[in-house]
Amino acid sequence: RDSDLDGSSTGSDAVNGTAGRFVSGAEGTALAYGSLLLMALLPIFFGALRSVGCSKSKSASDMPETITSRDAARFPIIASCTLFGLYLFFKIFSQEYINLLLSMYFFVLGILALSHTMSPFMCRVFPANVPNKQYQLLFTQGSGESKEEIVNYEFDTKDLICLGISSVVGVWYVLKKHWIANNLFGLAFALNGVELLHLNNVSTGCILLGGLFVYDVFWVFGTNVMVTVAKSFEAPIKLVFPQDLLEKGLDASNFAMLGLGDIVIPAVVIFSSFTLSLKKNTRTYFYTSFLAYIFGLGLTIFIMHTFKHAQPALLYLVPACIGFPVLLALFKGELTEMFSYESSDEVLPHTPQLTHFPTVFGSPASLANSMHVEPPPSYEESSPEEVSSKEEITESDKDK
C-alpha cells in the first residue's frame, strides 16, 4: 500500500530510485494537486452512491463485505506484514521479475475492476436498437446425476463491450505503463473498494483509522521501508498526475502521487456517515465528512509543498475525518446515538430482506424461478362449484 502523498516523484525515480528531478512551475504544480484532489473525490462520492445500490441488490454475491472491529484492529498488523514482506522480496529477488509478475496480476485484476466500473455507464449509453444477446459460461464436473457446477456465469453484449474496452486499457498499461492507464485502473480499484467494503459501526471506523494512523507514521517517518517499496513497486495502486504536463504534454514524467489507501480507507468511514445520514433523513453527516476529507487532503498538500517532503496523508486525514463528524454530533447532542449506531442492523430504504435462502442447484435463472410463488386463488376468482367444494371440505375438517 503506497500511502504517501509525494509531490516530486519522477518516472525514473519509480524504477531506479534516482534523484534527477524536473522543477515544475507553479501552474503545473497547482494543476497536478488539484487533479489529484478531484480524482480522489470521484470514487468516494460515486462509490457511496453505488454502494447503496449494491446493498439493495438481491444477489448475495454482490453484497458488501462488512468490516468488524476485530477486522479493523488486525488490519494495520496485516498491512505491516505485507509491506515488510514486499520490502524483503525486493531486497532478495530481482525487481524486474517481481514487477513482471505483478504486472500480469494487476492486468487481470484491473480489467475485471474497470469492466465492473463501466457497466452502469454502458447500460445507459447502449443503443436500444442494438440487440443485447445473453450468454452463459458454464463449467461442470462429472456426468449424469453426479454432475456438479464449477462455474456458472451469465453475461450479455454490454458486458463483452466493457470487457473489450478494459482489455485495451490493460494492454496499454502493461506495454507502456502510461500514467493515464494507471489512473484508469487506480480509479476502478478505488471505486470498487468503496463500493464493496462497509463498516458495521462508527467505532470500527475510529479503530481502523487510528491503527492506520500509527501504521502510516511509523513506516514513513520511522523507516525507509515504505519509500523503498513505493519506488520499486510498479502497480496501479496509486493515482498520479504530472506536474510538468503544461511543459511536456502527455509525455510528462514528474509525477505527484496519492496512494489508493488514502482514498479507500477514509471513504469507508465517510460511507458510515452516509448511512447515518440516510437513517436520519439528512445529509449533514455525509457532507461534513466529505468536507473533512477535502480539508485533510488539502492540508497534506500544503504541508508537503511547504516542507518539500513526502507526507503520510493519513496523518492529516484521520484527525479530520474523525474530528469533524464527532464535533458535529457533539454540537447536535447526538454523540451517543452516533457511536451506538449499527449500520449492519439497519436496512437501507427499499432494501429487500430475506429470512432464508432456498437451496437450489442450477443457474441463477432457476433460482429466480424457484423463488416465484403463485398466489392462491381467492374466493372472488373461484367458480361457485369450487367455493361450494371448499366449504364442504372445511365442514368435514371440523367434524374430524
The catalytic residue positions are 216, 262
User: Residue 145 has what DSSP assignment?
Assistant: G
Determine if residue 126 is left, alpha or beta; phi over 0 gives left, psi from -120 to 50 gives alpha, anything else beta: beta
CA 236 to the chain's CA centroid: 14
Q: Give the 3-state secondary structure of 249-270.
A: HHHCCEEEEEECHHHHHHHHHH
What is the spatial distance between Cα 216 and Cα 238, in angstroms, rounded to a whole number?
Answer: 15
Residue whose entry in the numeric block shows the C-alpha cell 424457484: 370
Of 356, 292, 293, the residue nearest 327 (C-alpha): 292
Residues 6+ apart with CB under 8 A from 121: none
What is the spatial distance between Cα 312 and Cα 105, in angstroms, rounded to a whole number?
Answer: 27
Residues 125 and 85 sit within 8 Å (Cβ to Cβ): no
Of 371, 272, 314, the residue nearest 69 (C-alpha): 272
First CA to last CA across the chain, in angstroms?
Answer: 73
Beta-bridge mates of residue 10:
254
CA 52 to the chain's CA centroid: 13
Residue 391 CB neighbours (<10 A):
11
What is the spatial distance between Cα 238 and Cα 357, in angstroms, rounded to a whole number?
Answer: 39
Residues 290 and 44 sit within 8 Å (Cβ to Cβ): yes
